[in-house]
Amino acid sequence: MTMTTKTQIASHRGGALVWPENSPTAFRNTAALPVEQVEFDVHPTRDGRLAVIHDATLDRTTDGTGPVAARTWDELQRLTLKGTDGERIMDLAAVVGLFAGTAITLRLELKPDHERRPYPELPAMVAAVLRAEGALERTVVTSFQVETLAALRRAATPKGTIWIVSNYVMTDVGLAGVIDVARRHGVPAVSIHHTMLDPGVAAAVRAAGLGVGGFAAHEDDIIRKMFALGVDVFTTDRPDRAVALRAALG
């Protein structure tokens, strides 16, 4: 007997445990995988460009230092990404272009600044670039910050929006509260950390009319759990393993 799944795979930061995260190498390799989504993170530069990088600061993943938003795009282009052969930070339009010939949905995370404050201008900037690139209908926008998602939805109508619910929010607000907040902000789906997902939680979210996904499924047993739960989609730093495990399900 085989078990089929409709659960989709999102290559998190382009497969951060396989390739240097949010790098051209990661995105090119993800584009060659049978995954449904590629996840990446966006911060604004000082001069109004959109840099694809996870942290609000440059230190961990580049040879630069300090906040991304304190630098101009030209300054960022003089930096190299750690673990690569001299690759540079990409901007949003370049990532859109790299996946243009694929069926892979872009999963764009709107990040806050280095003090975890939302960038007021970021939702409108992202909306403008996605519109200019003709990419709204193939982009799902995510954020841990639900007001940021609401702002994005006022500026544009992407393929979808997903509120990533932190473990603190799940614990402190509770599942009923999370569902209520998502509905009141017009967000149609939530993503929940794998440690807080079980069949009851998934069923309750679905019963409320919301989509349910999982995040941070990097190990085989956790990836298998995502398929067993039948979540809509999950993010993983090991898209190669997720693809193999899904194929094994038949």
Q: Where are the beta strands (DSSP E) in the chain?
A: 8-11, 37-44, 50-52, 90-91, 105-110, 139-143, 160-165, 189-193, 211-215, 233-236
Binding flag, residue 91, Mg ion (CB under 5 A):
no
Residue nearest to Mg ion (CB): 109
Of 5 and 166, the one with the shorter C-beta distance to Mg ion is 166
**C-beta of 92: minimal distance to Mg ion in Å?**
14
Question: For Mg ion, which is the closer residue by CB, 25 or 143?
Answer: 143
Question: Strand 50-52 relative to strand 37-44: parallel, antiparallel, unpaired?
Answer: antiparallel
Buried b (16+ CB within 10 A) or exposed e, 7-35: bbbbbbbbbbebbbbbbbbbbebbbebeb
208, 12 in Cβ contact below 8 A?
no
Choose one: 87-95, 109-117, 143-151, 170-178; the region binding Mg ion (CB under 5 A).
Answer: 109-117
Pick between residue 109 and residue 133 the one whose CB is nearest to Mg ion: 109
- Size of site (CB under 5 A) for Mg ion: 2
Q: How many CB atoms lie within 10 A of CB 247?
A: 9
The binder of Mg ion chosen from 21, 109, 237, 240 (CB under 5 A): 109
In angstroms, what is the C-alpha Rg of the chain? Answer: 17
Q: Hunting for tokens 């998602």 — which residue is that?
A: 149
Near Mg ion by CB under 5 A, which window of 43-51, 91-99, 107-115, 128-136? 107-115
Interface with Mg ion, residue 21, by CB under 5 A: no
Q: Is 41 in the site for Mg ion (CB under 5 A)?
A: yes
CB 37 → Mg ion: shortest distance, Å?
11
Binding site for Mg ion (CB under 5 A): 41, 109
